[in-house]
Amino acid sequence: MFSNTQPRQNTGDFLKKLFLGKNILSRLILINTVIFLLVNIVGLFALLFNLSAASFISPLAKLLALPADLSLLASKPWTIFTYMFLQEGFFHLLFNMVMLYFGGLIFQEYLNQQKLLWTYIFGGLFGGIFFVISFNVFPAFNALSYISIAMGASASVLAIIIAISTYVPDYSVHLLFVGRLKLKYLAIAFILIDLLSIRADNPGGHIAHLGGALWGFLYAYSLKRNNDVYKILYGFKLPKFTWSKKEKRFDTPRADSGRPLSDDEYNYKRSASQEEIDLILDKISKSGYGSLSKKEKELLFKTSNKS
């Protein structure tokens, strides 16, 4: 849908990098794709063996989708998280992943992978909360709350797009059939489309999109004022395992003395390192890569090799 200039590569290499890359963007796309396949495979078996009541919704999708009804939500609280990775229709998946890919690429030009991950998650959470509250507060939706569910990455994706549009509003992208357009105008268009579409056949989806958009705006607004609300989360990271032919070994972070780091020490070092990287990225966005010192370039290079 939109693009910035990227070097050409063959389709095989592109798909391999897209789905098997070690970066957060590739992993988000892979998770969404795998869940899509699982949901539809389970749905196919349920249909063939009459394991589910007549429905176009896979039994697994029902388990992962976010219900608007509060009593149903209380019995499936995990759905406030799982719904944001759930796409049942192929074109639903395709559109969301294309938007996530291009929006994520621009996001990572100015911000880092951890910010991308947390914007995806919190954008989805905000979208889900907006959806549930709206269907239980507004009289127009009360009668629909029992049968209404939300699924899809759209709120998360829109959070990413609105966040980067707020952070660098004058960044230009090339739109098919439209030409070059600044992100701020694209963001306004997305929001207006969702606002005007609430009266259509999918009000819950558009309300969730607006919740994600609100989070993206609030996060970027605070970030431009040097207030990163994700900072407390940067210390949390899944442990890394290294594998050898003889054995599998868990790499434990160690202090200079050789003893293992405590959780507090590790989280402090991780947070301090992240702050340095954020300052370097801010410097690049303002003055360009050439403004970095030799030490800053080395730190950025080492960090990128760890990702």
End-to-end CA distance of the chain: 27
Residue 3 lies in a domain: no
218 and 256 housed in the same domain: no
In angstroms, the CA 266 to CA 277 distance is 17
Q: How many domains does the chain have?
A: 2
206 and 263 housed in the same domain: no
64 and 149 housed in the same domain: yes
178 and 270 housed in the same domain: no
191 and 265 housed in the same domain: no
In angstroms, the CA 168 to CA 4 distance is 14
72 and 107 housed in the same domain: yes
Predicted confidence at residue 253, as pLDDT, reads: 52
In angstroms, the CA 17 to CA 168 distance is 26
Task: Kindly tell me the number of DSSP H helices and DSSP E strands found in the chain.
Answer: 13, 7
Residue at a domain's end among 194, 223, 252: 223
Predicted confidence at residue 223, as pLDDT, reads: 93
Q: Of the candidates 45, 161, 49, which has an alpha carbon nearest to the alpha carbon of residue 103?
A: 161
Domain that holds residue 175: 10-223
Q: 39 near 64, Cβ under 8 Å?
A: yes
In angstroms, the CA 150 to CA 145 distance is 11
In angstroms, the CA 148 to CA 202 distance is 10
In angstroms, the CA 32 to CA 36 distance is 6
Q: Which CATH number characterizes residue 38's domain?
A: 1.20.1540.10
Residue 5 lies in a domain: no
In angstroms, the CA 124 to CA 7 distance is 31
90 and 208 housed in the same domain: yes
Q: Of the candidates 154, 160, 155, 80, which has an alpha carbon nearest to the alpha carbon of residue 113?
A: 160
62 and 111 housed in the same domain: yes
Exposure string over 148-170, b if 16+ CB within 10 A, otherwise e: bbbbbbbbbbbbbbbbbbbbbee
Q: Hey, which residues does 29 pair with through a beta bridge?
A: none
15 and 161 housed in the same domain: yes
Tokens (6 digits) for 115: 């910010």
176 and 300 housed in the same domain: no
In angstroms, the CA 83 to CA 182 distance is 31
In angstroms, the CA 214 to CA 197 distance is 17
Residue 229 lies in a domain: no
Tokens (6 digits) for 287: 């003055």
210 and 246 housed in the same domain: no
SS3 of the chain: helix, strand, coil, percent, to 5? 65, 5, 30
257 and 209 housed in the same domain: no
The pLDDT averaged over each successive group of 10 residues in the chain (307 residues) is: 56 68 87 94 84 69 94 96 93 95 94 93 97 94 89 97 96 87 95 93 92 97 91 63 43 51 53 69 71 73 58
Q: Of the candidates 250, 249, 226, 256, which has an alpha carbon nearest to the alpha carbon of residue 238?
A: 250
* Torsion 82-236-238-216 (CA) sign: positive
Residue 235 lies in a domain: no
pTM over cut 0.75: no
